[in-house]
Amino acid sequence: MPSLGTIATQLFPPKPKWSVEQIPDLSGKVCLVTGGNTGIGKETCKQLLKKGATVYLACCSQDKAEEAIKDLETQTGRTAIFLQTNLSGLDSVKAAAVDFKILERQLNTLFLNAGVMVPPMDQVTFQGYDMQSGTNVLGHFLFLKLLYPLLGLAASSSPSSLSRIVWTSSSVQLYFSPPVKYVTLEDGDARRKMNVGQLYYQSKFCSVLLLFQVARTSLNDGIVAIVVDPGNIKSDRLQRHLPSIAQRTMNAVLLHSVDLGAITQLYGGTAPEAAQYNGTYLSPWARLGEANKAAYDAEAQAEMGKYREDAVRSWL
């Protein structure tokens, strides 16, 4: 359980010392943002476009993507590129990676931003995994594995500029009580006996474990891997499964705007000084923070890495 001080600074973070105005020129850089059609992801795309990056907006709905791209073009004068990706289906993730590799030979920054929160218990992925674990963790992990070589190519082509992986987690990982209950990651009786909120907490804890495991070797390939907590943010998509009264109360009392929510992952993905933060956890707003203590356990990281490697092997 996090300390009262940690809880307080999570709910009411100190004023940010870094702003999007400090993002360097990104001309010639290629960035990919999952869930870029809405919320924090869309705001992230906007700021990257404003700084000259080539931005791929990955989501599952073409209509919603086109709507977001049109709006971003109005705001920035530049056009994001739609990459159709359904993270709840590993076939779709594989197809998206193939499409991306046809269009680009390297990738500078991969923002693993998309997520689902507390969907109905009967929702599972195409491969039969818990929807939150399958989307927030497994789909992203496969995407990372498939695109990792392009991150390495970007780093090798510009030795002075490290590539980056920025994986969006959540403060709820602090409230998860380990160990991970692996039997609940797939659908079955054990999963259905768990609270859907606890499954969400577990998925966000698992993403921290995996990012830390990746970071153990990524720097050898010129890739910085960072996990971020965006803060408690107003997001119509992420909170669409919450009861309306609960959502209105959260919005009024505890939640912050998406422009603040995007700051931490933009900092991790673009700030020159953030290149030194491989294997770290960033808290809102753009501050070094501490993850759940159990996430630093090397054996737990390795166990999670092996489980996910085995799960995606057929799609590699």
- In sequence order, the β-bridge partners of residue 114 are none
What's residue 157's pLDDT? 87
Residue 249 has a pLDDT of 55
C-alpha 268/C-alpha 176 separation (Å) is 24
Work out whether strand 30-34 and strand 109-112 pair parallel, antiparallel, or are unpaired.
parallel
Q: How is domain 4-9+24-315 classified at the CATH fold level?
A: Rossmann fold (3.40.50)
Q: What is the mean pLDDT of each run of 10 residues along the chain (316 residues)?
A: 65 87 97 97 98 98 97 98 98 98 97 95 97 98 98 88 96 94 97 95 98 98 97 63 54 72 97 97 95 97 97 97
**Rounded-to-integer distance, Cα 229 and Cα 211, Å:** 13
Query: Six-digit token pair at 266?
Result: 């933009």
Q: What pLDDT, on the 0 to 100 scale, is given for residue 248?
A: 52
Length of the chain: 316
Strand partners, 223: 163
pLDDT tens for 154-188 read 999 876 789 999 999 999 999 999 999 999 999 99
Residue numbers annotated as active site: 169, 200, 204
Measured distance CA(158)–CA(254) in Å, rounded = 42
What are the boundaries of each domain within the chain? 4-9+24-315
Beta-bridge mates of residue 186: 129
In angstroms, the CA 300 to CA 306 distance is 10
At residue 8, the pLDDT reads: 63
Please enumerate in sequence order all residues whose Cβ is within 8 A of that of 37, keeping only pairs 6 or more positions apart, or say none: 57, 59, 61, 64, 65, 67, 68
pLDDT, residue 309, reads: 97
